[in-house]
Amino acid sequence: MILEILKYPDKRLRTIASPVQEVNSEIKKQVKDMFETMYAAPGIGLAATQVNFHQRLIVIDISDEGNEPLCLINPEIMQKNGEIEYEEGCLSVPNYYESIKRANEIKVSAQNELGQTFEIEAKEMLSICIQHEMDHLNGILFVDHLSKLKQKRLKKKAVKQSKKL
C-alpha cells in the first residue's frame, strides 16, 4: 500500500518517534508499505515520521537498481567520524535541494525486520542517508541545518504552496 508522505511545514513532521517495542506483524506491514512508498516516490530513503507513523523505523535503498533494501528499526549511532558535504533533497520538502554537512563515517546499531540486532558501518551516501532519516525520527528536517534566512524564505514559499492545494 502506498502511504501519503507529509509535506513541510506540516507540524506532524516535528513529532519525536517512540522506540519500536516489538517487531510484530503491524511493524512488518509498516516496513513493507514504507518500502513500496519509497520506491514509488521515488526516493532513496524514508522515515516512519514522514508517513505519520511515529515509531523509530527507517527504510533505505541507495542502489541504482533499487535491489538493496535496508530496514533499520530503533537505530542508534555508536560512532561518527570525519565530515562530508552533499546536496540533499527530501520527499517532505519537494523541489528543494541544499548542501548539508554531516559525519562521513558512522557505526550504527539497529534491529532488522526480524527483530535481530545488527551493526552496520556506513560511509558517504549511505551514511548521509541514514543520518537524514534518523533526523526525521527526532522531528528534524534537513532544512533545520540551514541559515535562519534560508529557512524563513523556504517556509514562506511552502506555506504559500500549501494554501494553493
Q: Which residues are catalytic?
A: 133
The x, y and z cell numbers of residue 60, run together, are 533505505
CA–CA distance, 18 with 96 (Å, rounded to integer):
28
Q: Write the binding mask 90 to 129 for ligand K1U: x where contact by CB under 6 A, - elsewhere.
A: xxx-----------------------------------xx
- 139: nearest Cα among 73, 48, 34: 48
Residue of 90, 126, 143, 154 interacting with Zn ion (CB under 5 A): 90
Task: Count other Cβ atoms within 10 Å, centred on residue 73.
Answer: 24
Question: Which residue, 27 or 90, is less far from Zn ion as judged by CB?
Answer: 90
Instruction: Write the CA distances from 141 to 21, 93, 134, 152, integer angstroms.
Output: 25, 9, 10, 14
Q: How far apart are the first and last CA of the chain?
A: 23
| Minimum separation from the CB atom of position 93 to Zn ion (A) | 7
The one segment of 6-14, 18-26, 85-93, 149-157 that binds ligand K1U by CB under 6 A: 85-93
Does the protein bind ligand K1U through residue 133 (CB under 6 A)? yes
Least gap, CB of 71 to ligand K1U (angstroms): 14
Binding site partner of 43, from ligand K1U, Zn ion, none, Cβ cut-off 5-8 A by kind: ligand K1U
Q: What are phi and psi of 68, to 5 degrees?
A: -130, 65
The site for Zn ion (CB under 5 A) is made up of: 90
